Structure formats: C-alpha cells, structure tokens
Amino acid sequence: MQTANPREGILVLTLPEGVLTATNVDPFREQYLAALAGTADVRTVILDLGGITFLDSSGLGALIALLKRTTESGGDIKLAGLRKEIRLVFEITRAYKIFDIFDSVEEALRVVP
C-alpha cells in the first residue's frame, strides 16, 4: 500500500492492483492501521481503490469496519477511483450511502477542506 500526504490532515492510501477478499483483508487492515499510527493529525483518509479488480463481502466488511473505527476517532474515509464492477458492489449493497465515493483522488481532494 502506497501512502502520500498531499496536504496537512489528509492521507492518501493507494491499494495495490488485485483483489480485496477474505484472503487478504487482514493484511490490508493491518497496513491501514499502521499507516495511521504515525499520523495523529490526519482527519481524512482517501483510499484509492483504482487497482482493485474484485471485492467480496469480506473486503467490503473490512472497509466498513475501518470507516467505523476512523469516524469514531473523529476522522473520515473517502473512496476514489472505483472501477465499474467495484462501484456496482457498492450500489447493490447500498454501501454507497455510508461512503463518499469519488471518480478520482484529485476529485476527493477538492472537496476536503
């Protein structure tokens, strides 16, 4: 997972190309939490999911759990770059109602104060 801080209070995490499924949600969750561990001033995390080609219920569950954990500590998660088939998962499950989803990281950055 690549990390970038485009400006104060924002962390962009780019997931590697591949799938987010039951086989790799635990390492993903650990990498997410490790990336946040050294950044006390981060209020917004933008997850760049552009490389994700398949997402199962475990992957979606991990995203929801991380959103809950992040919002409980006063932060927020925004999703960016979802491929058509991944966006469909969010529409079918109605998860789009709990996440802010953007076409690109740049678009997400424009709305974060």
What letter represents residue 66's amino acid? L
Crossing angle of helices 25-37 and 57-72, in 10° steps, is: 20
The amino acid that residue 75 corresponds to is G
Determine how many CB atoms are found less than 10 A away from the CB of residue 5: 12
Which DSSP category does 16 fall into?
P
Q: pLDDT tens for residues 41-98? A: 889 999 999 999 999 999 999 999 999 999 998 999 999 999 999 999 999 999 999 9
Domains and CATH numbers, the chain: 2-108 (3.30.750.24)
pLDDT in tens, 6-39: 788 899 999 999 999 999 999 999 999 998 887 7
Amino acid (one-letter) located at 34:
A
Name which residue leads in pLDDT, 1 or 58.
58
Percent of the chain that is helix, strand, coil (3-state, to 5): 40, 25, 35
Contact (Cβ atoms closer than 8 angstroms) between residue 29 and residue 42: no
